[in-house]
Amino acid sequence: MNSIVFMGQDIEIGSTKVFSNGVDVSEEELISLIKLKQLKSLNLNTSNTNDEHLKIIGQLTTIEDLDLSTTDVTDQGIHYLESLNNLRHLRLKETLITQECLSSLVKLDKLETLNLKDIDIGDRSVMILGALLNLKQVVFSSDLLTLSGLEKLKASLPECEIINQGSSWKDNVTL
C-alpha cells in the first residue's frame, strides 16, 4: 500500500489535502506528511498544533493552503513558515500570535488570503502587510485598528479586500 497513517487513517501518497478536523496530531504524524510530495492543503484547525509542530510544517514546501486557526502557535514559531514559498492561503485566527510576527508573514510573497481574526494588530503594524503585493483578502477583528489605518493599507494594496470585524458595529469595515 502506498500510503501513510495520519490520525489513525490511511492517507494516499498522492493526496493533495489533509485535515485534522480538531483531532490532535503528533510530531511523528506530521513528519510522515513530508512523504506527500503533492500535498497542497493542510487543515490543523482546532488541534494541538504548536511551535514545535511548525518546525515540521515548515518542511512541507508544496503547501498552498494552511489553516492553523485555534491552535497554540506563537510569534516564536511563525518564522518556520517562511520557507513555504508556495503558500497562498493562511488562516491564523484565534492563535497566540501578536503583531510582532508580521515581519515573518511578509516573507510569504505568494500569499493571497490571510486571516488574522482575533489577533490584536494596530495601525502601525498593519502597514507591514502592504508588502504582500499578491494579497487579495485580509481579515482582522482588532479594536486597535482605525479606519485611517485600514485606508492606508488599502492605498498600499488597492486590489485587496480588507475586512475588519471589530467588536462593535462601527468597527465592522470592508474596503
> How far is CA 40 from each of CA 97, 126, 142, 147, 163, rounded to the nearest angstrom?
24, 28, 30, 35, 26
From first to last of its 175 residues, what are the pLDDT tens digits of the chain? 465 666 666 677 677 878 777 788 889 989 988 988 889 999 999 999 999 999 999 999 999 999 999 999 999 999 999 999 999 999 999 999 999 999 999 999 999 999 999 998 888 888 999 999 999 999 998 888 888 899 999 999 999 999 988 655 455 677 7
**Residue 64: which CATH number?**
3.80.10.10
Measure the CA–CA gap between 124 and 150, rounded to whole angstroms.
10
58 lies in some domain: yes
- Which residues span the domain enclosing 59? 3-97
Cβ neighbours, 10 Å, residue 10: 11
- Number of domains the chain contains: 1
Residue pair 97/121 in contact (Cβ under 8 Å)? The answer is no
Cell of 10: 490511511
129 lies in some domain: no
Cell of 45: 484547525
By C-alpha distance, which of 73, 46, 3 is closest to 56? 73
Query: Who's near 155: CB < 8 A, 6+ residues apart?
Result: none
- Judge if pTM exceeds 0.85: yes
8 lies in some domain: yes
65 lies in some domain: yes
102 lies in some domain: no
150 lies in some domain: no
Residue pair 7/22 in contact (Cβ under 8 Å)? The answer is no
52 lies in some domain: yes
14 lies in some domain: yes
